[in-house]
A and B are shown apart, each in its own frame.
Chain A
Amino acid sequence: MSSDTFTHSRALIGRHLRHLTRTPQQLMSITLMPVVFVLVFGYLFGSAIDVPGGQKYQEYIMAGIFIQVVMSNLGLTALGVVGDLDNGLMDRFRSLPISRAAVLIGRTTNDLILVAWSFVLMSGIGFLIGWRVHNDFLSVLGGFGLLLLLGLATSWLGALLGLALRSAEAVNAIGAIIVMPMSFLSNAFIPLDGLPGWMQSVAEWNPVSAVVLACRKLFGNAGGSTGDSFPMQHPIPMALVLTVALLALVVPLTVRAYEKAASKK
């Protein structure tokens, strides 16, 4: 990234953070939603789900709950992009002599900061309901690093979706079609060996599954039964590889879509 792109992205992050401090609804949603996630998934389902390996349910489930915030980042970014298309700012930015990626880097980085903020809150609430990590600091940090990297990928995917669909309704509909299978066709909440064969393979190669399992390992939380597919045997490197592959696929497509972005008006 050139130093200009860095300066521009930083200025745009400043813009987004101002939005955050001035629109209480937005601040509330990124603050309350994660807290509610932890309480709902951590407590309510606790009695209903059998924890593999006899460990505490709250320890098993936290990685899956972090993933929910990572996935919801897709919608956050997509709706932000649609907003900028609607009010014409995207045209304004595109008519400036700035790098093609700066606007997208600014928004996705900002949204990632919000995800990190949610993680901090969730970890606190998680601690209160009994979540503990049983590993060294660096490993735990590595786990959050993988979650953030996947959050970056979902954010760019969201930007692509926003640029392609150009409407909030369409984003909500199509976004759900992408997010639901990605988060639920994974090991976030359920052990995969209960699934029919082909579905199990899909779920095991889902980057979300690799990230969840890698996090459980890095946090020292129970992994549950994992199956013997390659990603499940090597979750940490595979989480990295699958997420980076997703980014490598989505980022160039998104930059191209930005170049051609046309507001609807």
Chain B
Amino acid sequence: MPAEVRIRVDGVVVSVPAGCSVAAALCHAGRGATRQALDGAPRAACCGMGVCFECRVRIDGIERLGCLTRVAEGMEIGCDA
């Protein structure tokens, strides 16, 4: 069993593998979408390397790229960026 950290996604506490990216953590937590397009359509991480910007989420209040940010214990993630 790898080590886990607890993060909150839109207020819900989930345990995810330590050391993974926020984008991977969201997937692991069963969250398909990172954000919504203007028309409400769900969007999710696509390139995984900081190019497409589809994985942007609010991390501790600041908009960041989920694929380039590592999870940390207690992180607050909002899928409303």
Whether A associates with B in a native complex is no
B: residues with CB less than 8 A from A are: none
